[in-house]
C-alpha cells in the first residue's frame, strides 16, 4: 500500500485531502499524519512542513511508494483567485501576509531540490482560497454565492470590520454548515466523504483556481488500480 504523508490543520482536513487523492488517482493510502498546528504562525508552520517533507523523503528509501500532501488555508493571503478582495479593508496583519503558494513550494524544494524529476516521493500542495469550505460549497452548488465570501463566519470580528457598515453575508463555513445540514450528516467527516464521492473534479477545477492548482499536482501522481 502507498504511504501518504499528510500535513494539514486537522484530522478531518487530512481525511478530506486524502479522499481527494484517492478519488483522482485510484490509489488507497496508508495515512501518516503530520499535523500543521493551526494558529502557530507562518514560520512555525514552515518548520513543521519542512520536518514533514524530511520524514517523507526518508520513508521513500523503503520499499513502498511514498506520497506527500501539504495543505494550508489561504486566509486572505494574496492569490490570483481572490483578486477582487479589497485588501485595504483587511486588518494590517492580513494586509502584510505573504503569498503562500510560493513559500510552500520553497519549503519542499529546500528539502527535495528544485528538480522535480529527482524527487524521491510524489508531492501535492493545496492552498484553498480562502479555506477548504470554499471547495465544499462550490462542489455542492451550481451557482456561485454572491457576494463571494472572504471569511470563515459572518459573526467573526474580521468579517464585521471588512463589511462595515452593513452586516456580513454568510461566509464559507456558514454556507458549508448549511450544506452539511441539508445532506443530513451529523459529522463533518461523513459529509466530506459524500462531497468527494459526488463531486465533479473537472467542474470544480473550472470554478476554483486554487482547486485546479491542487488537482494539477494530483494529476501528475501515478494512478492505482483501485476504484476511484
pLDDT at 218 > cutoff 50: yes
Question: 53 phi and psi, to 5 degrees?
Answer: -65, -40
Q: Report residue 226's pLDDT band, with 50, 70 and 90 as the boundaries.
A: very low
User: Of 187, 43, 160, whose CA–CA distance to 91 is shortest?
Assistant: 160
DSSP codes, 179-199: HHHHHT-SSHHHHHHHHHHH-
Q: What is the mean pLDDT of the chain?
A: 94
Question: How much of the chain, in percent, has pLDDT values that exceed 70?
Answer: 96
pLDDT at 39: 64
pLDDT at 228: 33
Ranges assigned E (strand) in the chain: 2-7, 29-33, 66-71, 122-126
The Cα 121–Cα 102 span in angstroms is: 20
Average pLDDT for 189-217: 97
pLDDT, one tens digit per residue, over 83-122 is: 999 999 999 999 999 999 999 999 999 999 999 999 999 9
pLDDT, one tens digit per residue, over 40-60 is: 678 888 999 999 999 999 999
pLDDT at 42: 81
User: Of 17, 18, 24, 23, whose CA–CA distance to 3 is shortest?
Assistant: 18
Q: Report residue 191's pLDDT band, with 50, 70 and 90 as the boundaries.
A: very high
Helix, strand, coil % in the chain, rounded to nearest 5: 50, 10, 40
217 burial level (CB within 10 Å; 0-12, 13-18, 19+):
middle
Sign of CA dihedral 178, 31, 9, 81: negative
Where do the structural domains in the chain lie, given as residue ranges?
2-141+187-219
How many C-beta atoms lie closer than 10 Å to residue 176's C-beta? 24
Strand 66-71 versus strand 29-33 pairing type: unpaired
pLDDT at 225: 57
pLDDT at 160: 97
| Model confidence, pTM | 0.94
pLDDT, one tens digit per residue, over 152-166 is: 999 999 999 999 999
Amino acid at each position: 500500500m502507498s504511504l501518504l504523508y499528510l500535513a494539514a490543520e486537522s484530522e478531518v482536513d487530512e481525511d478530506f485531502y486524502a479522499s481527494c487523492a484517492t478519488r483522482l488517482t485510484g490509489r488507497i493510502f496508508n495515512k501518516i499524519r503530520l499535523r500543521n498546528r493551526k494558529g502557530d504562525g507562518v514560520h512555525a508552520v514552515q518548520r513543521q512542513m519542512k520536518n514533514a517533507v524530511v520524514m517523507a523523503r526518508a520513508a521513500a528509501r523503503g520499499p513502498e511508494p511514498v506520497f506527500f500532501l501539504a495543505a494550508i488555508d489561504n486566509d486572505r493571503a494574496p492569490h490570483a483567485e481572490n483578486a477582487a478582495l479589497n485588501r485595504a479593508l483587511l486588518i494590517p496583519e492580513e494586509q502584510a501576509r505573504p503569498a503562500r503558494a510560493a513559500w510552500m513550494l520553497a519549503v519542499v524544494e529546500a528539502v527535495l531540490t528544485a528538480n522535480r524529476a529527482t524527487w524521491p516521493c510524489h508531492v501535492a500542495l493545496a492552498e484553498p482560497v480562502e479555506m477548504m469550505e470554499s471547495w465544499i460549497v462550490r462542489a455542492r452548488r451550481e451557482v456561485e454565492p454572491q457576494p463571494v465570501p472572504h471569511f470563515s463566519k459572518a459573526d467573526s470580528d474580521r468579517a464585521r470590520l471588512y463589511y462595515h457598515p452593513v452586516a456580513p453575508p454568510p461566509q464559507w463555513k456558514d454556507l458549508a454548515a448549511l450544506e452539511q445540514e441539508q445532506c443530513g450528516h451529523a459529522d463533518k467527516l461523513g459529509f466530506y466523504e459524500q462531497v468527494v464521492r459526488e463531486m465533479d473534479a473537472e467542474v470544480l477545477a473550472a470554478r476554483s483556481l486554487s482547486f485546479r492548482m491542487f488537482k494539477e499536482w494530483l494529476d501528475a501522481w501515478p494512478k492505482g488500480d483501485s476504484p476511484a
